[in-house]
Structure formats: C-alpha cells, structure tokens
Structure 1
Amino acid sequence: MIKNYLLLLFLFTSILTSQAQQFNSNNISISRSDLETNVYEKDSTANALVLYEYGKSYVNNQSFKLTHEFKQKLKILNRKGFDQATILVYLYNSKNKKEKISNINATTHNLIDGRITRTKLKESEIYTEKYNENYTLVKFTLPNIQEGSVITYSYRVTLPFVYKYKSWEFQGDIPKLYSEYNTSIPGNYNYNIKLVGKNQLFKNEAEVKKSCLEVGLGGSADCTESIYVMKDIPAFIEEDYMTTRDNYLSRIEYELKVFQGFDGVIDNITKTWETTDKEIKANNSIGKQLNKNIKKEALLSQSTLNEKDALKKAELIYKNIQENYTWNGNYQIFKDVSVKDLIDKKSGSVSEINILLHNLLNASGIAVKPILLSTRNNGLPTTIYPVISDFNYLVVQATIDNKTYLLDATNKYLHFGQLPFKCLNQYGRLLDFKNGSEWIDINSSVVSNTRYKVDLVLDKDENINGKVDFTTAGYHALPEKESYFSNASQHENYLTENNENITISDYAAETQEINSLDFKEHFNINYTTEKIGDFLYVNPFLFTFFEENPFKLQERSYPIDFGYKSGFMYYYKIHIDDAFEIIETPKSINLNLPDNAGKLLCTTSVKNNEIVVFFKLSFNKEIYVKEYYPYMKELMNHVVNLQKNTTIVLKRK
C-alpha cells in the first residue's frame, strides 16, 4: 500500500513538474508558462533558450527579388543570457547590389507582480554601421531585459542575389526547442541542397505549387515549396581539437546548379570537374602560372643544379624557397597571382610561393602536381560537385622514387614533406590537367611526439639536482623551433619563468637546423623537496603535458580532430641518498581506448635506491568520431590527475 502511494505521489509530482516547465514552442505568441518557467531541464548550463524560430524565403512576384522573413521567440534564463538580447543582422553588399532590411519589430515580455508587461523596441534604438567592404551590420538590443524575460523579434530582408539562396541555421550557441524553415523555389532555379550536421530533421516535406511566379506575356514558373523542421536542438559549444564549426553546425545550404531563363536559355552554373579542370588550366592566376617557364639557373646555386640525387635536389630547392621568399599573409589563389612579381619582390601569396616551388621542381625533372585545399578554419570543401570558392590554399605534391611528399614553402620552420597544421583538413583536390583531377587524403605520415628524460639525485641535505633532456618532433617541434630560432635568450627565459620552483642552468639546444623534423634541448635543474613533518614529498612530474582536461562537455556532437597522430613520453629517474627510506611510490595504471585507438601507461619501479617513473600517452588516430568522446574524456581525467597528484613519499632514517 505504501509502495503504491509513493508511486502515485512520484507520478503526480512528475506530471506537475512537466506541466510547470512546459514552454510554448508551437508559435511565437507568449504564454504565461513561457515567463514563469526559468529552467531548461535538458541543459542545466543554458543561459538562454530559443522557444520558437521561423523563417520563410520566396521570390517576390513583383520585384522578382528573393525575400526572407524571420521571427524568433527567445527566453532569457539568467543574467549570463542577457547578451542574447542583442541582435546582429549582417547584410551582404556588392558594387551594384545590396541586401536591405525592413519591418523590424521587437518586444520584451516580462512577468511583473503576476501581470505580463510588454516593452517595444523604438526605431531610434536600431543602429546601422559598415562592418567591412562586403557587409553592413544592423544591430539592436531589446529593452528592459531581466532574468526570466521572453523576447520576440521579426524582420524582412530583400536579397537581389537569387543565385545564392538564403541558407538556414537550425543550430546555434544556445539550445532551441523548435526551428522551422519554409522555402519556395521557382522551377527554373535548380539548386544543390545540402543538409549539414548530425541533428535529424523532424519534418521534411515538399510540394509543387503551380504558376507561383508570373513574369508577364504568359511566362510563369511552378515552385517547389518545402518545410524543414528540427526540434530539441542542442547548443553547439566549441571545444579544443576541432576544425571550424561550419563543418558541424546543423544547417541547410544552397548552391545554384542550373538556371533556365523564361526564353529557354539554360545556364549551367555548377560545373563538372572535367569542365572545372579546363577552366583552372586556362586561368591566368593558376593554370598559366603553373606553366610558366622558369630559368632555374638564375634562381638556384650551382651546387643545387649539379646535385644528382633527386631527393637531395628537391630538398635543396625547397630550402632555397623557404630562405629567400617570404609569405605576405595573403591566401588568395584565383586572383592576382604572379610568379614574376614574387621573384622581383621576394614576397608573395601562398599560391605564388608554392607555384614557384612547383615550377622549379618541374624544371629540375621532378614529378610535381598542385593540390587545392581548404584550411581547417575555412571548412571542408564540397566533394559532390565543384565549388571553387571552397578552396583557399595551394600546395605541391612531389613524387620521388615512388614516394610522394606534400610540400608548402611558406614557413621556414617546416620540414620537407610537412604541411602547416592549418592544412591538415582531411582531403584536397589534386590537379592533373592531362588525366583529370581527383580527391586525395591530406594527412601527416609522421607521429608528433613530446619526450622528457629527467635524471636526478636527491642528496642527504634534501636537495635535488640533475639533467633534463627535452625532445619534440613533428608538429610538436614547430613552436619550440620558432621560439628558439627567433630569439634564443628569450626562449631560455621563458623556460625559466614557467618553472618558478626550479633553478635552470646550462641550457643548450642540440638541434641547429631550423627546418629539422625534431628539436632537442637539454639543461640542468636544481630544487629542494617539499617537507611536512618527518616526511619528504617529491613530485616526479616536474613538467606536464596538460594542465587541465580539454574535454569538458557532457556530450560532444562532432569529432575530436587532432590533425595528426601524437605521443607523449615522460621518463623520470631519481637516485635516493641512503639517508632516506622510501615510504610510498606512485601506483601503476594501464588504460586503453576502444580498438586500441589510444593508450595511457604509467609504471613505477624501485631498485637499489633508484625510483623510475615511466609515463606514456599515445593517440593512434588523427580523428576520433564522437562515440570516442566519453572514453577520451575519462582517459584525460586520469592524465591530469596523474600529473597533479602523483607523489613519492620519503622519510629520513
């Protein structure tokens, strides 16, 4: 009986709770519950919440311009969500055409003493400013914002760029209960429609409306009218080890494929790769520059010209470009590219530097091909059909003795065959003007490592001194090399400043080649132990790899993208003076990620008054799908805990 009563009480309480926390996500109208409810149970960390969002895009029957209508209802849950009451609308401009906004309406709704109050946005509170050459910013902040406020706002945008249909973002920085997008596309516009992101559509419906667009003289077009809906959309929260959010944010994008005029003329906007290859080949900034005849004798030393070994010759040419030409920070690859200007000015864009590298290697008898790619912060290029605007970078593939090397000469610290980290974005388009272009994988063949070897002695006076060997390799070595070779004394000072409790002396860098694959340093250290009562506490992790766990989300909806395989190793040996006895040593740990995709190992051994702590962390994949996230998060918790809380306990005899 008591059990039944408790069950009924639980069910009744659950019903009351669900009713009390039920927002109206069916439309933009305000319910009392919208104002009374101040918690979103599915995400307790949320500071604001979109209750309802609606968009509609269509071609206006009079102006024949694309019209986009937008409205949203948003709940402010706490003070940290106040910034969501500032609305920014970016309007695109070209030389002759510009987007225009109208019909801005915005209201703040509050519950004051049990009564719903409304405060409207004044027209004088709407500001317009030039954002940059391509965009105008329209900005307004809803008035009278309080904890618990609900804001509603709407506007209309007229877009003269029908070729670029209005995209729609279902997902944003805060969670959404309901997001709906309605489109009406005339039949003479044929778009590639791309749904991006992992969240599923709740509704995806389409129907044809006859003669929705009339142009006079009997001309008309049918329209495809579509409805797309998503519900309960989690906030997209950025975290370490990811590429641009645009790769994962749930949204719909449009790319015009074919336009058919009312006169019957067909314009194929989206090309095939076969057609695109021909256009690139004929392009003044790419194809024609790649075919420029280079007088290698005027640019290369005699020793380089006389080198018989193909790999050594390629490395010498690569190094020559690195040392003599400076990247000006310009990424453009399809406009204003001139190898001649680069040679004259000794400074140029990514394309100019790497096309010169391509041409010199080609003139020296080395098989080369250019690769178009998109950098990590630029997003993944579309693979279904050519979208040239997706690419923002050009590198070179060289084939020597049946082995391929991916080359970029814009950075003097890069090793031969090593691309900048920003280029490690999964795949690129290898251009071959004879046999046709193709997609190829872009990855690093070398595991990047960080290794410490610490060899110490604890003397009878409780002082610890010894030697540290520090080696970084691959991408881990790049910041170390850049720091040291740009300012060696500052690099040493930085090392000292970041280890305040340790005296560092006799620093030396063993590596002298600026573009070496690894970088080796060594120095001596001296410090005193921590003593509490009769016990001495020695922390073996004098140098740490991770100060905190980079993975903090409850759930991650996108991959962990390191960009390359990596490893971390720490070898610590300390000889204990006979004046002390060993009371406690660190416990060993051995953890593996599923499918042996990664490993954490930490062991301790004691022999003849010597304690050895060995730590090894390895990531055997460049990219981990989201299903690995809970395992990776747990693994990194152990890593951080080991570095912070591992202790050797000693006592004087």
Structure 2
Amino acid sequence: MKYNLLISLIFLFSLIASAQSSFNSETLLVTKQDLSTNVFAADSTANAVVLYESGNSYVSNRDFMLYTEIKKKIKILNNDGFDKATVKEYLYRNSNKKENIQDIHAITYNLEGDNITKVKLDKKAIYEEKYDDKYTLVKFTFPNVRAGSVITYSYTLVSPFFFKYKGWYFQEDIPKLYSEYNTSIPGNWEYNIKLVGHLALDHKEEHIQNECLDGGSGAYADCVDTKYVMKNIPAFIEEDYMTTKSNYLSRIDYELKTLRMFNGEVENYTKTWKVVDNELRTDNDLGRQLSKSAITKGLLDNSIEKESNPLIKAKKIYQYVQEHYAWNKEYSLFKDVSVKDLIKEKTGSVSEINILLHNLLKQSDLEVYPILLSTRNNGFPTKIYPVISDFNYLIVQINIDGEKYLLDATEDYLSFGEIPFRCLNQEGRLLDFKNGSYWIALTPEKTSSVMYQIKLKAENGTLKGMVHHSNKGYHAHSYKNSYYSNPENYLIKLRNSHEAFEISNYKVDSESKTSFDFTESYAIEYPLDEQLTNIYFDPFLFKFFDTNPFKLQNRTYPIDFGYKDSFLYSIQIDLGKDYQAINLPKSKHYTLPNNKGRLLFNTSQSKNTISLVLKIDFLENLYAPEYYPYLKEFMSITTNIQTKSLVSLKKR
C-alpha cells in the first residue's frame, strides 16, 4: 500500500514538473503546450507567468537615437491574472525632446478544441495620455483574454535621452521562466551599471563590436555588447515592514557617467560629492535659500531671542515654526522653493518649512545643518556616487552640548528630536558646506513602545477596574494626531472599538500633542458570562497583533521596522470571594538568534489574584532576510498567546 502511494506521488510530481517544463520559454512563438498547460508548479499562487521576455538596447547609426526593442510572452493562468493583459509604458519628455513608441504588435492566443486561434490588437485600442509634467502614458489592453490565454507583444522605444539608458527589470510581481536583456553601449558613453536585488544572473557575456557607431568625418566608436540572462525568477511579493519594493526588485540600472563627443569634448554627468556640494551651496532652490537670513529677522519674539539655554532656545524655535507654518503636503526639494513665500503665505513645502527652521536656528548662533534624504516610498539613494535626483526630502540636524537632534517641523504632533516615519530610510546626506557632506544614520535612538497596565476586581458578575495605556515614540503619532484633532470623535471611536466592556472616566495624562508619549487612562466594566459552569475569559482585552504579518514561505528582502520596538501587556485580576481560577495559560519564552529580540509571557497566581504579563522586544530596527523564519515563528507565538490564551474561572 505504502509502495503504491509512493509510486503515485512520484508519478504526480513528474506530471507537474513535465507540465511546467513543457512551456516554450525560449522564443516568442506560442505553442500548443503553452496553451494547454494551465498549472505552474513552482508557484501555485501565481495568477500569470512570463514565459519569455527579451530586450535589446542600442544606439542607431541612422539617427543617433537610443532604441530599445521589447518582446514578451505571458501565460494567463486564471481570471485574477487579467490585469497582465493591460500594458503600460511611460515615455519621458522635456521642453525640447520626447521619447516615442513604435511598431506595437500584440496578439491574444487561445486554444479552441484542438486549434490555436489568435486575435490581433486593433491599433485604435492603443491610448496615449499625459501622465504628469514629465511623462506621457501609452497603454493598451489585449482583446479576448480568458483563463488559459497566452498573450504576446512587441514594440520599440525610441529615446533621445542618453542619460536615461533603458534599465531592465528581471523581477516583477509574477514569476518568470526566462528574461534576457541585450545592450550595446558605445565606448564614448560611459555608464555606472548597477545590478540591484538578491538574485544572481544565470548568464552574462560581453564582447567588443568594432566601429559600431559612425560619428562622421572618419570618426567611429566601438561598442561593448552585453547579454544578461536570468531564469526561473520568483515573483516579488510585498509584505509588511518593508520600504518601497524598488529597493529590492532584481534589475539593472544605468546612470550616465561621462559623454565623450566625437569632436573631443567631454561632459561629466556623474560628479564627486565635492563638486555637488559646491553646486548645492549656490543652488537657487537650496543653497541660497539656506543662506537667506535677512527675511527671518524679527520673526521671533524677545522671550526666544533672549533665551540663554541653547537647548531650550532650540526647542522654542522649533515650536514656533511648528505652530505658525502649515505643510501643504508638497516636498519640492529642488523646484520653486521660497522661504519668503512661506513667511508670507504661512503655508509651504517640506523644504521651505525646514529651511526656515534651519535659518532661524542658524540666526540664533546654533550649530545646524541641512540633511538630504529619500523617503521610504521613494527608494534608497545611491551611495557609491552622487545622484541628486534620488533625494526628495530635507530635514535638519542641530548639535547642542555634544548631542545631535534630527528635526522636521512639518507635523504639529512631532516632539523635539523626532522625524516622521516616512523619513526613516536608513541614511541621509548631511550638507556641511565648509567641511564637505557625509552620510549619517536616520535611525532613532529611543525605543518606541506600547504599554497596557490593567487592574480589575471581580464583583457581582462583573470585572471592574482601570486601564492605563501609554504609547511612546512612533506608536504615539497616530494617537496624538487623532485625539488632539477631535477629542470627542476619538472617544467615540475608542468605545465603539471595544464593545465588550463599558468605558468611563476617560482622561489623557500626556502634557501636550508634542509630548514624546500619549498616555490615557479610563475605568472599564466587563460583564462575565455566568450561564455556564465554567466561565471562560479572554485576558487580552487589547491586542498588539491579531494576525501574524509574516506569511511568506521565504522572504528575500530585509524586515524594516524603522525603529526599535517594545510592547508590554500586564493584567491583574482580583477574583475576590465569588470566583476561583481553574486554569491559566502556560508561560512561554522565546528569543531571536543573537538575542535580537525576546518574548516573555508569564502567568501566576497569588492567593486569589491572577496575573499575566506579556513582554515583547524587537531590539533591532532592521533585520536581515535570514531572520525571517525566526521572526515568523516569533510572531506566530505572539499572536497565539494573544488570541488563544483563555482563563477559566468558576463560582465558589
């Protein structure tokens, strides 16, 4: 019996493997096997799979334009894969030139009985529209697509912009069997070429093509022709606790470093930080705004001007900017930055508000520096050479008595020394125009935390007592923002979200909306269900995690919390004379490798008082992918404790 079962399993797996391998992943040609095979064993969750794709980028001798020929074949496995039947391409433009797209061909293939049918894309179904100030969107949707279809398309991109050599994404949100990118780069164009992501190339080859580009008058350039290949590429699946996926998608990026003209002229695009620092210092939208002190005179009242303690003075200046100027939700780092307009209108961009903060601190003889950064949704800035376009945000750093404080005055609930969560993107570039810029860490030193301390007493079928709830650091931001913007509505939402018990005597114990913490307390009454002989009670009236946020089988990118995290839940229940405990949950301890985190869950009983304490500590803000299985188990234990820990009582 066991032998027969084993033979059956081997046969089943061989069928699945055979079905997957029967896809034609070598060309754009659609085979009957491509259409008849409707499983993808390597990823049973996939809604579609790229069977084959190729790109070919080169500079044409005909018009000196950058051409990129793209071909792609996709298998639609089920109805949820229909979104892959819409193709979008973003064409860059400026005031003088623009990219365009040529020779779009798209075909939908289906299997009708034993025959392959195909429907071509109608040219009238290709749409072009303005996307924003820099890009035009071209899109089309395949006709007659259904589960099991195979779609193929090809087109050519033509670009006059050599600084935008076409990058190539090997990885996307569906798996791929084969991805190939061919490039031909003339020797007088020098690029920094960067392979991003954790996946390795399956194949790479290079050779020199002599005299590939005719510069006229007997001038020629040789080209470096390169072929890059990846096979069996897993889908990239986004999950909680990560920065933007563009940081981790496996791809090739190009940044133009040097352009050598055929007449001998040389233009450098990639510069040293020393050169860039000087350019930023004289930039109209940055450097010159940072040096404008005349327009800030008279803004601060005498009590601030006369303050002798530098830390108190800095805090008062910070508070002044927070209270008097509103953020318009724009970043505008290198465009239309005007501190003068901010002072006049009382509202402005991130750059304008924080440059004003910088100038007021500097005017008060405090040591302050601007910091360029890229927000979490914008991606990591390039570190091996300056790429100013990578940055989209500006904050400041002030140094007082050996302590360094990062400041951002755009949010009115931030405490002194805090920056918004969107800014926690590992590192930023501090601009010191005298001694040169350098990278600094954007990691908060203080641990953010959540704490519940609950004391209850059983009386006449009800648990009565007090809840003390404290959120510190980044956990306090949403609470402060919600409460101080509308206290009445906040209390309504609090009561509605905890309908199992009554809330009364509500009080906020924090000093103000800019406090590092948000602390609240209130009385509760929780009725016990006495209809059964044994009374089951969930001691976790408030839960940190309802479900495990980590669900992937494997995760190849870091787990980025942004800050160190701590959670404490403590509940004491005096059972009085009416009840006694029958059973308590078991205590549990768990520690991450290298003591990078710990979980302590202790239950105890003293006389007729029961106590439960859950302590969770994430001791790092960033965990390498190797920690994922341990964090997944860590969170599984945490959620099980909070959702399956019942206390059983009975009446005396």
Q: TM-score, normalised by structure 2?
A: 0.97
1:104–1:621 Cα change, 3 Å: same
CA distance in 2, matches of 1:583, 1:492: 36
* Structure 1 partner of 2:125: 125
1:602–1:230 Cα change, 3 Å: same
CA distance in 1, matches of 2:20, 2:36: 8
CA distance in 1, matches of 2:44, 2:4: 30
3-state SS of paired residue (2:492): helix
In the TM superposition, residue 297 of structure 1 has moved relative to its aligned partner by: 5.7
In the TM superposition, residue 133 of structure 1 has moved relative to its aligned partner by: 2.6
* Structure 2 partner of 1:191: 191
Query: Which letter does structure 1 place at the counterpart of 2:413?
Result: Y
CA distance in 2, matches of 1:308, 1:644: 54
1:225–1:273 Cα change, 3 Å: same
Q: Give runs of aligned pairs for residues 491-640 of structure 1, distance below 5 A.
A: 491-531=490-530, 533-640=532-639
Query: Which letter does structure 1 place at the counterpart of 2:439?
Result: W
* Structure 1 partner of 2:179: 179
Which 10-residue stretch deviates more, 559-568 or 124-133? 124-133
**CA deviation map 1:350-369 (0-9, x unaligned):** 12211121121112121111
**CA deviation map 1:235-291 (0-9, x unaligned):** 111111111111111111111100011100001111111111111111122112222
* Structure 1 partner of 2:210: 210
CA distance in 2, matches of 1:15, 1:615: 48
Q: Give runs of aligned pairs for residues 312-351 of structure 1, distance below 5 A.
A: 312-351=312-351
Query: Which letter does structure 2 place at the counterpart of 1:510?
Result: D
1:464–1:97 Cα change, 3 Å: same
Which 10-residue stretch deviates more, 17-26 or 637-646? 17-26
Q: Is structure 2 residue 160 aligned with structure 1 residue 160?
A: yes
3-state SS of paired residue (2:164): coil
Query: Which letter does structure 1 place at the counterpart of 2:602?
Result: T
In the TM superposition, residue 533 of structure 1 has moved relative to its aligned partner by: 2.1
Structure 2 residue ranges without an equivalent (≥5): none
* Structure 2 partner of 1:285: 285
1:136–1:550 Cα change, 3 Å: same
Which 10-residue stretch deviates more, 346-355 or 183-192? 346-355
Query: Which letter does structure 2 place at the counterpart of 1:279?
Result: E
- Contact 1:21-1:33 within 8 A present in 2 as well: no
1:532–1:367 Cα change, 3 Å: same
- Contact 1:297-1:305 within 8 A present in 2 as well: no
1:15–1:450 Cα change, 3 Å: closer
1:197–1:610 Cα change, 3 Å: same
Query: Which letter does structure 2 place at the counterpart of 1:29?
Result: L
**CA deviation map 1:425-482 (0-9, x unaligned):** 11011111111111111110110001011111111x2111111011010010111111
CA distance in 2, matches of 1:259, 1:566: 48
CA distance in 2, matches of 1:14, 1:88: 37
**CA deviation map 1:152-198 (0-9, x unaligned):** 11111111112210111111110101100001111111111111111
**CA deviation map 1:550-580 (0-9, x unaligned):** 1111111111100000111101011103222
1:6–1:79 Cα change, 3 Å: closer
1:219–1:521 Cα change, 3 Å: same
Q: Is structure 2 residue 431 aligned with structure 1 residue 442?
A: no
In the TM superposition, residue 640 of structure 1 has moved relative to its aligned partner by: 1.4
3-state SS of paired residue (1:264): coil
Q: Is structure 2 residue 138 aligned with structure 1 residue 142?
A: no
In the TM superposition, residue 292 of structure 1 has moved relative to its aligned partner by: 1.9
CA distance in 2, matches of 1:306, 1:123: 72
3-state SS of paired residue (1:601): strand
Q: Is structure 2 residue 246 aligned with structure 1 residue 237?
A: no
In the TM superposition, residue 295 of structure 1 has moved relative to its aligned partner by: 6.7
3-state SS of paired residue (1:195): strand
**CA deviation map 1:503-560 (0-9, x unaligned):** 1111111113221111110011112123452111111100111121111111111111
* Structure 1 partner of 2:425: 425
- Contact 1:76-1:150 within 8 A present in 2 as well: yes
- Contact 2:19-2:39 within 8 A present in 1 as well: no
1:468–1:3 Cα change, 3 Å: closer
- Contact 1:294-1:360 within 8 A present in 2 as well: no
Query: Which letter does structure 2 place at the counterpart of 1:44?
Result: S
CA distance in 1, matches of 2:320, 2:16: 71
* Structure 2 partner of 1:650: 649
3-state SS of paired residue (2:544): coil
3-state SS of paired residue (1:315): helix
CA distance in 2, matches of 1:273, 1:295: 30
**CA deviation map 1:26-50 (0-9, x unaligned):** 1111222212221111111101000
CA distance in 2, matches of 1:125, 1:341: 46
**CA deviation map 1:591-611 (0-9, x unaligned):** 111111111111111012111
In the TM superposition, residue 219 of structure 1 has moved relative to its aligned partner by: 2.1
In the TM superposition, residue 335 of structure 1 has moved relative to its aligned partner by: 2.4
Q: Is structure 2 residue 477 aligned with structure 1 residue 478?
A: yes
1:581–1:234 Cα change, 3 Å: same
In the TM superposition, residue 14 of structure 1 has moved relative to its aligned partner by: 5.0
In the TM superposition, residue 10 of structure 1 has moved relative to its aligned partner by: 6.7
Q: TM-score, normalised by structure 1?
A: 0.97
CA distance in 1, matches of 2:2, 2:526: 64
In the TM superposition, residue 131 of structure 1 has moved relative to its aligned partner by: 2.3
1:12–1:648 Cα change, 3 Å: closer
* Structure 2 partner of 1:24: 24
CA distance in 2, matches of 1:32, 1:19: 14
CA distance in 2, matches of 1:298, 1:212: 65
1:480–1:117 Cα change, 3 Å: same
CA distance in 2, matches of 1:285, 1:601: 52
1:531–1:399 Cα change, 3 Å: same
CA distance in 1, matches of 2:251, 2:583: 56
In the TM superposition, residue 81 of structure 1 has moved relative to its aligned partner by: 1.0
In the TM superposition, residue 635 of structure 1 has moved relative to its aligned partner by: 1.2
CA distance in 2, matches of 1:9, 1:345: 76
CA distance in 2, matches of 1:327, 1:146: 47
Which 10-residue stretch deviates more, 349-358 or 121-130? 121-130
Query: Which letter does structure 1 place at the counterpart of 2:466?
Result: K
* Structure 2 partner of 1:75: 75
Query: Which letter does structure 1 place at the counterpart of 2:87?
Result: I
CA distance in 2, matches of 1:358, 1:15: 67
Aligned length: 651
1:99–1:481 Cα change, 3 Å: same
1:496–1:8 Cα change, 3 Å: closer
* Structure 1 partner of 2:404: 404
Query: Which letter does structure 2 place at the counterpart of 1:283?
Result: D
3-state SS of paired residue (2:162): coil
1:188–1:34 Cα change, 3 Å: same
1:14–1:505 Cα change, 3 Å: closer
1:636–1:414 Cα change, 3 Å: same
In the TM superposition, residue 11 of structure 1 has moved relative to its aligned partner by: 6.0
Q: CA RMSD in A?
A: 1.7
Query: Which letter does structure 1 place at the counterpart of 2:507?
Result: A
3-state SS of paired residue (1:21): helix
Q: Give runs of aligned pairs for residues 31-46 of structure 1, distance below 5 A.
A: 31-46=31-46
Fraction of identical pairs, as percent: 52
1:250–1:531 Cα change, 3 Å: farther
In the TM superposition, residue 18 of structure 1 has moved relative to its aligned partner by: 2.8
Query: Which letter does structure 1 place at the counterpart of 2:167?
Result: S
CA distance in 1, matches of 2:629, 2:551: 10
CA distance in 2, matches of 1:285, 1:100: 31
* Structure 2 partner of 1:50: 50
- Contact 2:559-2:628 within 8 A present in 1 as well: yes
CA distance in 2, matches of 1:14, 1:582: 52
1:217–1:557 Cα change, 3 Å: same
- Contact 1:453-1:572 within 8 A present in 2 as well: yes
In the TM superposition, residue 146 of structure 1 has moved relative to its aligned partner by: 2.0
CA distance in 2, matches of 1:467, 1:641: 25
3-state SS of paired residue (2:476): helix
